């Protein structure tokens, strides 16, 4: 139970809206663990009084955090903290790297591991022939005990030697870097679709639940295609984060 909100002094002269200042402050409390999942917040009137704000400003801050998936409103319970989503910056890093960097516990179940001749679309993406060989890897990535993503990757067999055991212990990009390959740039596409029955079972979702999709081709510093990946993520637990700037 949250006994009020720790002292926050809002900057009324700032161009940042008051509701957003409050929302960011509460978001920091949630993500730092001061307000762990299950914590119940006081109602909007009490919170507004504690912070010296109007009720509409407080309501807007709460609604922002509900939309972000950090809070949930339950009838008869009130406003409650939920497990925050994994927020991943859109940059050339792996999910394993990002989970580890954010203090979460990545865990991998290898669902499939084989060496095959690539389909034409995969061969074209990797700049190789259909007669060449690629590792075909399918993994279920967890954060703690919670399933988060199904990842399918194709790696030219000439790039490095991989094993199912190593992939269960380490991130794919860790293994690529350990082989002396310097990943430099990638092309990436992000989309969405509904979960199919088999995917829903693996991800602990209902069939038809929204999923985020990501396809990526990563290149090394010599311009050689190293990885083609096709991943799906639980939209309820995961989001991509971008920083936009003007020139």
User: Is the Cβ–Cβ distance between 86 and 143 less than 8 Å?
Assistant: yes
Measured CA to CA in angstroms, residue 175 lies from 32, 94, 116, 140, 158 at distances of 30, 11, 20, 17, 14
Q: Does pTM top 0.75 for this prediction?
A: no
How many Cα neighbours within 13 Å face the side chain of 100? 12
Contacts of 23 (CB under 8 A, 6+ apart): 61, 62, 64, 65
How much is the average pLDDT of 104-117?
90
Query: 75 and 179 share a domain?
Result: no
Among 34, 49, 81, residue at a domain's last position? 81
Query: 94 and 75 share a domain?
Result: no
> Does residue 116 have a pLDDT over 60?
yes
Query: 76 and 90 share a domain?
Result: no
The token pair at 155 is 């790696």
| Mean pLDDT comparison of 98-102, 105-109, 138-142, 214-218, highest-scoring range | 138-142
What's 212-238 look like in SS3? EEEEEEEEECCCCEEEEEEEEEECCCE
Residue 236: pLDDT band with limits 50, 70, 90? confident
Query: 189 and 235 share a domain?
Result: yes
Percent of the chain at pLDDT above 70? 84
Enter the DSSP assignment of 34: S
> Does residue 1 have a pLDDT over 50?
no
Q: Residues 12-48: pLDDT tens digits? A: 877 788 888 888 888 888 877 788 888 888 778 888 8
Rama region for 72: left / alpha / beta (φ>0; ψ in -120 to 50; rest): beta
How much is the average pLDDT of 176-190?
89
Query: 164 and 215 share a domain?
Result: yes
Q: Residues 144-157: pLDDT tens digits? A: 888 989 999 999 99
Report the number of distinct structural domains present in the chain: 2
Q: When comparing pLDDT for 6 and 62, which is higher?
A: 62
Residue 203: pLDDT band with limits 50, 70, 90? very high
Query: How buried is residue 187: exposed, middle or buried, by Cβ count under 10 Å (0-12/13-18/19+)?
Result: exposed
- Please give the pLDDT value at position 72: 84
- Which residues are 74's β-sheet partners? 78
Domain around 56: 18-81
Query: 236 and 151 share a domain?
Result: yes
Among 37, 66, 81, residue at a domain's last position? 81
- Please give the pLDDT value at position 100: 64
Among 33, 57, 81, residue at a domain's last position? 81
């Amino acid at each position: 139970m949250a006994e009020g909100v720790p002292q926050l002094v809002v900057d009324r002269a700032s161009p940042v809206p008051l509701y957003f200042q409050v929302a960011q402050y509460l978001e920091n409390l949630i993500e730092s663990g001061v307000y762990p999942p299950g914590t119940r917040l006081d109602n909007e009137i009490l919170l507004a009084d504690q912070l010296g704000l109007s009720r509409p400003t407080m309501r807007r801050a709460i609604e922002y955090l509900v939309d972000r998936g950090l809070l949930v409103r339950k009838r008869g319970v009130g406003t409650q903290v939920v497990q925050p989503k994994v927020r991943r910056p859109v940059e050339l890093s792996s999910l394993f790297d990002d989970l580890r960097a954010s203090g979460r516990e990545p865990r991998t179940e290898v669902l499939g591991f084989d060496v095959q001749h690539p389909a034409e679309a995969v061969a074209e993406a990797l700049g190789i022939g259909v007669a060449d060989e690629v590792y075909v890897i399918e993994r279920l990535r967890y954060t703690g005990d919670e399933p988060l993503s199904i990842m399918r990757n194709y790696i030219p067999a000439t790039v490095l030697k991989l094993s199912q055991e190593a992939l269960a212990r380490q991130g794919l990009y860790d293994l690529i870097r350990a082989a002396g390959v310097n990943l430099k740039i990638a092309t990436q596409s992000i989309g969405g679709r509904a979960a199919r029955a088999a995917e829903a079972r693996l991800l602990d979702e209902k069939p038809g639940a929204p999923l985020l999709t990501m396809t990526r081709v990563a290149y090394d510093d010599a311009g050689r295609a190293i990885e083609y990946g096709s991943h799906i993520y639980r939209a309820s637990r995961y989001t991509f984060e971008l920083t936009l700037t003007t020139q």
